[in-house]
Amino acid sequence: MAQKDAANGNGATTRPPPTPSPIRFSKFFQANMRILVTGGAGFIGSHLVDKLMENEKNEVIVADNFFTGSKDNLKKWIGHPRFELIRHDVTEPLLVEVDQIYHLACPASPIFYKHNPVKTIKTNVIGTLNMLGLAKRVGARILLTSTSEVYGDPLEHPQTEAYWGNVNPIGVRSCYDEGKRVAETLMFDYHRQHGIEIRIARIFNTYGPRMNIDDGRVVSNFIAQAIRGEALTVQKPGTQTRSFCYVADMVNGLMKLMNGDNTGPINIGNPGEFTMLELAENVKELINPEVTVTMTENTPDDPRQRKPDITKAKEVLDWEPKVVLRDGLVLMEDDFRERLAVPKKTKA
């Protein structure tokens, strides 16, 4: 029971939250909500920025080092009076005046986060410390995009937020898994010690338009392979499972979490669970029935199963995903075909 309470973030704060800028309480000047999105040039971040920019009361600042993200993802906002883009690495302090911080900066694809593992840890630990320091100074609310990888290779299925996980602390994925676990710890310590308003989302594998074509994650790999007419590379054994969430559902969940009352951690993901062989069959059927499926070597510590229990998100956020995998794959196909310049064959 103690485990459940701690996982739900019931640790009491010892201090009142820091005071936000006086402009928040100004009588005559209607200030906009100033929102910082770290990692906003990336896949999820840029979709979040699109949604935040729809609200004319929001001013959005993106801070990104462009390691996996791109200005291209934000091109429609560059030059907009309510939008600012800063080339910045979150491992360095950032001085901006904001009311909310969506802290996404961190490579998400295993290929990229394993590329420079020490940098990945610095991004998760020093980057999160810096953003918490900023939140403390300006009295901002901060949301961390944590991950299903905090559950490691889970021994409980599906995973609830109360599960403490089964993570290898010294493996090749640890820079990310353990990095995010420390980031969660820092969030709760700043909350308890300094009264910072925190929100933690545990995101499950998310897919959709605008993913890097060479991102290396399974959905983008299979879709690009199917469009190019290449074999779909299922890593062994192929029976490992994942739950895939469409990006629009994810953004909706993150915004509800930020603007709600619950600190989290809260699982945000789609509970539909598929083996990688099933995913390959779906992609093949929907996108290119002529491609073959080939079995390839897997990487160390690949989790065997993952499925979110989203009871808490339903209860406290009134959130659940709307887009089923087969619909989401088709939406993503259109975007990938455009970027790969391979139009759909029309039936003769």
Ligand X SMILES: O=c1ccn([C@@H]2O[C@H](COP(=O)(O)OP(=O)(O)O[C@H]3OC[C@@H](O)[C@H](O)[C@H]3O)[C@@H](O)[C@H]2O)c(=O)[nH]1
Which residue ranges make up the site for ligand NAD (CB under 6 A)?
38-39, 41-45, 64-69, 89-91, 104-108, 123, 127, 145, 147, 203, 205-206
* Alpha-carbon gap, residue 117 to 111, rounded angstroms: 10
Contact (Cβ atoms closer than 8 angstroms) between residue 92 and residue 133: no
Cβ within 8 Å of residue 235, ≥6 positions away: 276, 295, 296, 297, 298, 299, 302
Query: Is residue 281 part of the contact set for ligand X (CB under 6 A)?
Result: no
Stretch that binds ligand X, among 38-46, 103-111, 281-289, 327-335 (CB under 6 A): 103-111
Cβ within 8 Å of residue 319, ≥6 positions away: 252, 253, 256, 257, 268, 310, 313
Q: What's the closest the beta carbon of residue 268 comes to ligand X, in angstroms?
A: 11
Residue of the chain from 148, 159, 174, 270 that contacts ligand X (CB under 6 A): 148
Q: Indicate which of ligand NAD, ligand X, none lies near residue 145 (CB less than 5 to 8 Å, by partner kind).
A: ligand NAD
Cis before 308 (ω within 30)? no
Query: Is residue 108 part of the contact set for ligand X (CB under 6 A)?
Result: yes
Cβ within 8 Å of residue 95, ≥6 positions away: 134
Is-catalytic flag, 102?
no
Annotated catalytic residue within 113, 163, 176, 246: 176
Q: What's the closest the beta carbon of residue 248 comes to ligand NAD, in angstroms?
A: 13
Amino acid at 171: G
Instruction: Name which of 35, 81, 45 is nearest 65 in CA terms.
Output: 45
Stretch that binds ligand X, among 30-38, 115-123, 144-152, 248-256 (CB under 6 A): 144-152
Q: What's the closest the beta carbon of residue 130 comes to ligand X, in angstroms?
A: 21
| Residue ranges in contact with ligand X by CB under 6 A | 108-110, 147-149, 205, 217-218, 221, 233-235, 240, 242, 276, 298, 302
The catalytic site residues sit at 176
